[in-house]
Structure 1
Amino acid sequence: MSRLATIRDHPSGVLLVAQFFAVLSYPFLDDSAVGRGVVGVVQMGVVGLALWAVRRTPALSWMAVLLGGPALVFTVLEAAQPSTGWIVLVSALFHAPFYFYISYGMIRYLFHDDSVTRDELFATGAAFTVVAWGFAYVYAAAQVVWPGSFAGSEGSGEQAWFELLYLSFTTLTSVGLSDIVPVLDHARSLVMLEQVAGVFYVALVVARLVGLNAIRHARPNDGHDGHDGGAAQATSKM
């Protein structure tokens, strides 16, 4: 029961683990129709967990469901027909705002109070990876609207979604290690937006959590110093 309670109390942590599992499972599952089906199920699980996690945030749950419901449907369609342009485009148009809204809810959750809980730490990582997921779908939509937007090690052309996710993570973390590069100006402008988002995330969200944690550890010392100061004043009066 204690493990179930831990899982129930930390939906952001479960979402973060599920995203890591999805990242590790894609290379093994994306080479066949059955594998794509499993990928679709895994992706649906991630979407469902995101809906569950956002219920604990100040964001509107009905808004997340409004975007997440169609996203679930097109997750299945995209797994069955990954090369059909309109399916990929519509799927991206639902997935991208859905993930951005989830990240918005989690960031509001992080700024909701002045204490740092364990679930908020999980939400920090989950919100970051959710943003990366959202931009991957933005890139997927971009290469449908503007063919040849990205080029990889094998030249320009349509890039697989996992390669776009890899580009998104390397851009958001500013490590610059991706061999997938934007070629067209529209794609480059989208990559620039993600670069700015990554910098602001570290500057605002992570820095705030570090500051709150430092304040929490400083408070007992401040109280202790105040107590010593009071004792010292009482001694001097005596």
Structure 2
Amino acid sequence: MKREGRRRLSVAHLLIALGVLFAVQPVVDQFSYGDLIESVAFTGVLLAGVSAVGNRRRTHAIAALLVAPALLTRWIDHFWPGFLPTEVCQFAAILFVAYVGWHLLRFVIVAPQVNAEVLCAAISVLLLTAIIWSMFYTLLGKWDPHAFQLPTTAGEGARLDGFLAVYFSLQVITANSFGDIVPASNIARVLTLAEALVGMFYLAIFISRLVGAYTSEPAAAVPLGEERAGESDP
């Protein structure tokens, strides 16, 4: 039971780390030292993600291999801006976050019982997806400064990055657009529609998962990282 509790705690830690990141970004985004605090918060998310993928050695080994370049490039870019292309930093983080999100999504789908651990994992998947798309928006904003129409309060020459990218991504994935940021290029529109569709299908899958769990026979919960009989590691 102690091992099972630790696994539940690891998913909760990831959700807490994500909550801290989303709470910190809008506050420190305008400060000179804000990038440092944001990097620390993002590092917490990455490290929490390693423990949240499960307890299998192979899964942890792959997570460790993927998180190393994500952390390294993040801090190199912080201390030596411009030393590495932005694309390298973003894609390293995208790859790791996608890996964690996939394992949590798989856990949410195959878990025989909906409990606090499954709910934490489900919310984490949604937030991780928003982070991935915010990185895509950041890259697109760099490649095409006119891909998005930003609010006048963002200032002249501002790009969709940092908190603005996360803010816009959360609007799209939750279907709560305020209209202050608008995709202006075709690529931006396609990317935005793709995230909206992912959010819609994810919500439908999760609701059906909840309905199925509450209408089926009670079953023993399977902790994150352990498979039911006959299932193999992806």
TM-score by structure 2 length?
0.80
Partner of 2:132: 134
Alignment partner of 2:33: what SS? helix
Return 5+ residue gaps in structure 1 as ranges. Answer: 218-238
Q: Could you tell me the percent identity over the aligned residues?
A: 24
For 2:59 and 2:14, the matched residues in 1 are separated by: 18
Q: Does 1:205 align with 2:203?
A: no
For 1:60 and 1:6, the matched residues in 2 are separated by: 19
1:123 Cα deviation after fit: 0.4
Rg bigger for which structure?
A: 1
User: What is the root-mean-square deviation of aligned Cα atoms in Å?
Assistant: 2.8
Partner of 1:90: 88
1:120 to 110, 114, 118: 118
The letter of the residue matching 2:175 is S
Alignment partner of 2:180: what SS? coil
1:17 Cα deviation after fit: 1.6
The letter of the residue matching 2:208 is A
Partner of 2:19: 20
The letter of the residue matching 2:178 is L
1:86 Cα deviation after fit: 5.3
- Summarize the Cα distance change of 1:123–1:131 in structure 2 as closer, same or farther, 3 Å threshold: same
1:38 Cα deviation after fit: 1.5
Deviation readout 1:196-224 (Å, 9 max, x if unpaired) = 1001101113321232123357xxxxxxx
Is the 1:67–1:97 Cα contact (8 Å) retained in structure 2?
A: yes
1:49 Cα deviation after fit: 0.5
Higher normalized contact order (CA 8 Å, seq sep 6+, divided by chain length): 2
Alignment partner of 2:16: what SS? helix
Structure 1 or 2: more helix by fraction: 1
Deviation readout 1:92-142 (Å, 9 max, x if unpaired) = 111122222211110111122322232111101111111111111111111
Partner of 1:69: 68
Return 5+ residue gaps in structure 2 as ranges. Answer: 219-234
Deviates more, 1:139-148 or 1:183-192: 139-148
For 1:33 and 1:57, the matched residues in 2 are separated by: 41
Is the 1:37–1:80 Cα contact (8 Å) retained in structure 2?
A: no
The letter of the residue matching 1:179 is D
Paired residues, number? 215
Deviation readout 1:60-93 (Å, 9 max, x if unpaired) = 33333332211112222343466x4953222111
1:156 Cα deviation after fit: 6.7
Partner of 1:177: 178
1:160 Cα deviation after fit: 2.9
1:58 Cα deviation after fit: 11
Partner of 1:38: 37
Is the 1:153–1:180 Cα contact (8 Å) retained in structure 2?
A: yes
1:7 Cα deviation after fit: 6.0
- Summarize the Cα distance change of 1:175–1:31 in structure 2 as closer, same or farther, 3 Å threshold: closer
The letter of the residue matching 2:106 is R
Is the 1:166–1:178 Cα contact (8 Å) retained in structure 2?
A: no
Partner of 1:51: 50
Partner of 1:194: 195
For 2:14 and 2:148, the matched residues in 1 are separated by: 29
For 1:181 and 1:60, the matched residues in 2 are separated by: 39
Is the 1:36–1:79 Cα contact (8 Å) retained in structure 2?
A: yes
The letter of the residue matching 1:12 is V
- Summarize the Cα distance change of 1:85–1:212 in structure 2 as closer, same or farther, 3 Å threshold: farther
Partner of 1:166: 167
1:15 Cα deviation after fit: 1.1
